[in-house]
Amino acid sequence: MQINLSECIAPSFYDVHRKVRDNAFSSFWLKGGRGSTKSSFAAIQIIKGIVEDNQANALVLRKVDGTVRKSVLEMLLWAIEILGLENSFDHKVSPTEIEYLPTGQKIIMGGLDDARKIKSIKLKKGYFKFLWWEEAEEFAGMEEIRSVRQSTRRGGDAFIEFITFNPPNDPAAWVNAASDEAKSDPDAYVHHSTYLDVPAEWLGKQFFKDAERLRLRDPLAYQHEYMGESVGRAEQIVFFGKWQEKEFITPPVREMYQSRFFYGADWGFAQDPTALIRCFIMHERGEVNLYIDYEVGGHGVELDELPALFRKVPESDQWKIYGDAARPETNSHLRNHGFNCESAPKWKGSVEDGVEYLRSFNNIYVHPRCPKIIEEFIKYSYKVDKHTKEILPIIVDKWNHYIDALRYAMADYIKGEVSILDVL
């Protein structure tokens, strides 16, 4: 059966649909804010998949069973209707399931508040090709997800899992961390969508008015609720209110404080990126501001690729680079290729001292061509007590590779206790 999807899924999901169709990945992490249509996309893909594969069944999960009928069941019934398949499906609410009448294939829905029920599910025909975790942020973590995977991913050749969620406001929440890790998983695909990717007539004028009103009144809440960003509570974000993205032209060196650039590098490979940052200080209208004008980096950067990569940052082979002291052989390799690369000084409390020093600037301006450190400034956060929600004076050791490079770049000023007031 041919099903026309062009009027059913938003254009931002066309490429995701092709990847699902081609079984390019087994796990699809679909995150976004209000109105992003990520859940309706998953529902349509499951209905379509059931029709096209007579061995396919689906298991759809929420954390709490009582939320199933007013969420995923309604969404799947909507998908059946919009695809014009009402006469081919039937459903019941106890237990909550949908049956494809021509073959008896099923979509079974439930909650993990009683995991034993999930493990006891038996199918008369086929296997669970589709697994959908709706509102995934509500689940306990990857251990819970792995347990269900191990119980259900059996007896078939192809498996497709949808993990749909609104990123929690805490950047350290498990689902945010897991989706970040999934970006480096060759069998997983991470997609971020917002209401701005959706045809306006699907959501209506009022939806866009409400979004714009919140954007003007509370930009942080707007970023979280509508743009699906893990911005955290303002006081939880380490550099909240201290930085902004800004277009600027780098001035001649003679106009900078001490007429100099600062360069810092952090080393990574598979899990963590290699990162190089360039910055400089300006004294402007009674303020002392830090400017970040270039970054380069990436995962899987080989040693012999480093010199060419770093030379993409202007004059990086002319100024001193402070590299992470944990990899002296990498610092040495760069010296052998014409860079003045030294191991950055470290000391007890150097992270906290570095953060305090960077926060002492009136403003930190980041050029738009530096998206990685912008992402880290958004997510770099303090830990939160999961029971009391108290913000703890402990920085989460994540989203900090380009920020670490920035600290290394300024290490002499931080360790030497050079106050920004000395610039005046």
Q: What is the 3-state secondary structure (H, E, C) of the chain?
A: CCCCCCCCCCHHHHHHHHHHHCCCCCEEEEEECCCCCHHHHHHHHHHHHHHHCCCEEEEEEECCHHHCCCCHHHHHHHHHHHCCCHHHEEEEECCEEEEECCCCEEEEEEEHHHHHHHHCCCCCCCEEEEEEECCHHHCCCHHHHHHHHHHHCCCCCCCEEEEEECCCCCCCCHHHHHHHHHCCCCCEEEEEECHHHCCHHHHCHHHHHHHHHHHHHCHHHHHHHCCCCCCCCHHHECCCCCEEECCCCCCCHHHCHHHCCEEEEECCCCCCCEEEEEEEEEEECCEEEEEEEEEEEECCCCHHHHHHHHCCCCCCCCCEEEECCCCHHHHHHHHCCCCEEEECCCCCCHHHHHHHHHHCCCEEEECCCCHHHHHHHHHCEEEECCCCCCEEEEECCCCCHHHHHHHHHCHHHHHCCCCHHHHC
Position 108, amino acid: I
Query: With contact defined as beta carbons under 8 Å apart, do 293 and 262 qualify?
Result: no
Q: Exactly one of 7, 74, 134, 135 is catalytic; which is it?
A: 135
135 labelled catalytic: yes
User: What is the separation, in whole angstroms, between the first and last Cα of the chain?
Assistant: 73
Query: With contact defined as beta carbons under 8 Å apart, do 297 and 402 qualify?
Result: yes
Contacts of 58 (CB under 8 A, 6+ apart): 46, 49, 50, 106, 107, 108, 128, 129, 130, 131, 132
Contacts of 116 (CB under 8 A, 6+ apart): none
Q: Which residues are catalytic?
A: 135
